[in-house]
Structures are given as C-alpha cells and as structure tokens.
Amino acid sequence: MKSYRDRFHIPKRREGTDVIYFAGNSLGLQPKTARAYVEEELEDWAKHGVEGHFNARNPWMPYHRLLTAQTARLVGAEESEVVVMNSLTVNLHLLMVSFYRPTADRYKILIEAGAFPSDRYAVASQLRFHNLDPQIALVEAADILAAIEQEGPSIALVLVGGVNYATGEYFDLEAITRAAHQQGTIAGFDLAHAAGNVPLHLHDWNVDFAAWCSYKYLNGGPGAIAGAFIHERHHRSTLPRFEGWWGHDESTRFQMGPKFEAMQGAEAWQL
C-alpha cells in the first residue's frame, strides 16, 4: 500500500514537511487524478450541453451506475440491492417510510445506546410523525440482543449503527438480524462508520435495509453522495415508499405518463 501515498496531494506544514494525515474519516486527501476527472466533465458539458446526459464520455443520466458494482462488493450485496443516492439521513428517512410500519401492539424502534446523534434525531422524528412519543416508543439498548429478546413483540424496527462512532464497537450484524427476524421485527443498519471500514455481507446476513455515507471511511468528504441497500426479497413487495421521477422505469420515463412505473430493485427508491 506504500506506493498509494504518491497518488495523493499531501498538505504541508509551515516548514514545508508533509503533515501526518489522520482525518480521512472526515475528508480524504485529494487524489492527483481528481482535477483531470473534473475537467473531463466540464469539457463534456462545454462540448455536448444537454446531450451530455447521453453522449458524454461518462453519460450523466446513468452516472450513478458507475458505482453500482463497487458499492455492491463494498457491502456484500447483489448489484440490484444497492443504489448510490442522496445523503445518509435522507436515505434513512426514505427507508423508514417503507420499513417502519407501526401497529397498536408493535410500534417501538430499538437503537443502540450512545448512537450517533443524527440517528436518534431521525428515529425520534419518525416516531413523532406517527403520533408516537419517543419517551415511550424509542428503546436505547446497551445490550442489543437482550433488548430484542425482552422487547421483541413490541418492536417494529431495529435500527443500529454498524460500528459505534464513539466506542468503535463493531456490532454483530448477522446475529442482530437473526434475533430481530425471530421476533418478527425488521432489521436495518446505519453503516456510516462501517462501510469501507469492516467486512460486510448484507445479502447473506439477510439484512432488510441499510444506509451509509461515503464521507467517512470512503474518503468522500462532507456532501459526498450516500448509498442504500434493500434486500432483494423486498423488491417486489407491496411496501409503501415515497416515489419520484428518478425511481420511474427509465425506458418509459420520458413518456410523461401519470402512473408511476417502478425501476427494478433498489433503484425504485430513488427520487
């Protein structure tokens, strides 16, 4: 890996020596190739204008698919199960629209104690959106498996971070998923600190859904686009979801019909 250092611009100290850079989880170093790639897109924009959607060297309309195969390998998924889109918390909300379906008896959401604050904000707001009190319906557990066993019949969703941002604990996602399913509960994960950091096998572990950012261990930086996983067994389900232009079947998208015709797989969750 030593030679990879030469592929990046290394910031300098005042005296001219290279800094020792440990901030890749917030913003990766700039690859020396980045400028050329940006200029390539600007050149295609200048040359093609709107036709760049289809005629650019990397056509813009299906641009997200340039990352599909790599993303699937990254999280241990089938290519149809992943889509690169939005930001992390937006994806969590879109996925909870589909997978958090509270009933009178099963309405709680379980998260890990000490979860990343943004996760807690998102979950609490989803509960309030369903007219539920987070003081009652939000379960914060230090021992996740024990909490699933104890609270199982009342839990509608387990939503845990893959790796805790403060402690570094790597949760046993396979065991958590299995325990949740034994209780009839959906298992989802925020993989912000796991994607690109630890081995993941979301498909084989039978995880229902997951979301992650790319600005931490994928070195994208703040604002970099995020990803989502939806297990293939849910692709043809009747789950509700928020729908929009980009999730419409691209073969008929520009016919401008009034009826939504979904893309196949995780891409149907695009807006």
* Percent share of the chain, pLDDT over 90: 90
pLDDT score of 263: 94
Closest of 112, 78, 90, 80 to residue 194, by C-alpha: 112
* Torsion angles phi and psi, residue 42, rounded to 5: -65, -40
pLDDT above 80 for 241: yes
Q: Which two tokens stand for residue 15?
A: 């005296």
Q: Which two tokens stand for residue 269?
A: 């969750």
Per-residue pLDDT tens digits for 22-75? 887 788 889 999 999 999 999 999 999 999 999 999 999 999 999 999 999 999
Rounded to whole angstroms, how far apart are CA atoms 234 and 238? 8
Domain boundaries, the chain: 1-61, 65-247
Location of structure tokens 């692709």 = 235
Rounded to whole angstroms, how far apart are CA atoms 62 and 103? 38
Per-residue pLDDT tens digits for 253-263? 989 999 999 99
CATH fold of 65-247 reads Aspartate Aminotransferase; domain 2 (3.40.640)
Per-residue pLDDT tens digits for 169-183? 999 999 999 999 999
Write 2-9 long-range contacts (CB < 8 A, 24+). Answer: 7/31, 7/32, 7/33, 8/32
pTM, two decimals, is 0.93
For 209, the enclosing helix (H) or strand (E) is strand 209-212
Q: Where does residue 178 fall: left (phi above 0), alpha (psi -120 to 50 degrees), or beta otherwise?
A: alpha
* Percent share of the chain, pLDDT over 70: 100
C-alpha dihedral sign at 69, 75, 78, 83: negative
Beta bridge partners of 25: none
